[in-house]
Amino acid sequence: MRLSLKINGDLRVVAAMEGSGYLSAHLIMRDRPEENGQSNTVRIEGIQTLETETIHSAWPNFRLLAGDIVELAVLDDGSGDEPTKVTKSSDSPSNLFASPELAQEVLGLVSEFENRLIALIQKSDKSEPEHEHKKFAGAAGHVLAEMGDRLLYPIYRRHKELVPNELKGEPL
């Protein structure tokens, strides 16, 4: 994937990414008087999803003025400018457990808890009024999502051998 960005006809950046993932451009106009903030910017970002690694790349932000013309072009695969920032999921300081055995134990506990919580959601659906069930199901959904963000993904990023097949190639 490759994308070029021109402002008023001047080439500013060519962003390129190989393999599976996303390459996107963002034009952001911001007027937030309560935050003393007003700006117009454009940027390109990429997310490469490897089997067990997610790589975020960012190219420079460019300030825009009224009347500026922003041109994006989809290009054939090839080389591009180096990103100004690259972060890898495997380098996250929040990754958990040096011990694969301890990591596996936590995964087992989380799996057991998920199964019991899902069973309770199903029980709630049959016995609670609809509005009460929806509140509980929403709360339980948040708990499950947080377990993924705070426990599962930090373990998977450090212990690639524990990543389930259905998550390989997905952002971690």
Using one digit for the tens of pLDDT, what is the confidence trace for 65-89? 999 999 999 999 999 999 999 999 8
Task: List the chain residues with pLDDT less than 50.
Answer: none
Q: Specify whether 78 is located in the same domain as 108.
A: no
* 31 domain residue, yes or no: yes
Are the C-beta atoms of 56 and 41 separated by less than 8 Å? Answer: no
The torsion angle over the Cα atoms of residues 162, 165, 167 and 171, rounded to 10 degrees, is 80
Give the C-alpha separation, 101 to 118, whole Å. 26
* 94 domain residue, yes or no: no
* 95 domain residue, yes or no: no
Q: How many residues does the chain have?
A: 172
Of 38, 64, 89, the position where a domain reaches its end is 89
**What amino acid occupies position 74?**
V
Q: Specify whether 63 is located in the same domain as 109.
A: no
Predicted local distance difference test score (pLDDT) of residue 15 = 97
Q: Specify whether 36 is located in the same domain as 79.
A: yes
The torsion angle over the Cα atoms of residues 31, 5, 69 and 43, rounded to 10 degrees, is 0
Number of domains in the chain: 2
Of 57, 89, 121, the position where a domain reaches its end is 89
Are the C-beta atoms of 136 and 128 separated by less than 8 Å? Answer: yes
Give the C-alpha separation, 39 to 31, whole Å. 7
Of 38, 56, 89, the position where a domain reaches its end is 89
**What amino acid occupies position 34?**
E
* 153 domain residue, yes or no: yes
* 122 domain residue, yes or no: yes
* 10 domain residue, yes or no: yes
Q: Specify whether 74 is located in the same domain as 112.
A: no
* 156 domain residue, yes or no: yes
Q: Which range of residues forms the domain containing residue 130?
A: 100-167
* 172 domain residue, yes or no: no
The residues facing 27 across adjacent strands are 42
Are the C-beta atoms of 23 and 1 separated by less than 8 Å? Answer: yes
Q: Specify whether 80 is located in the same domain as 151.
A: no
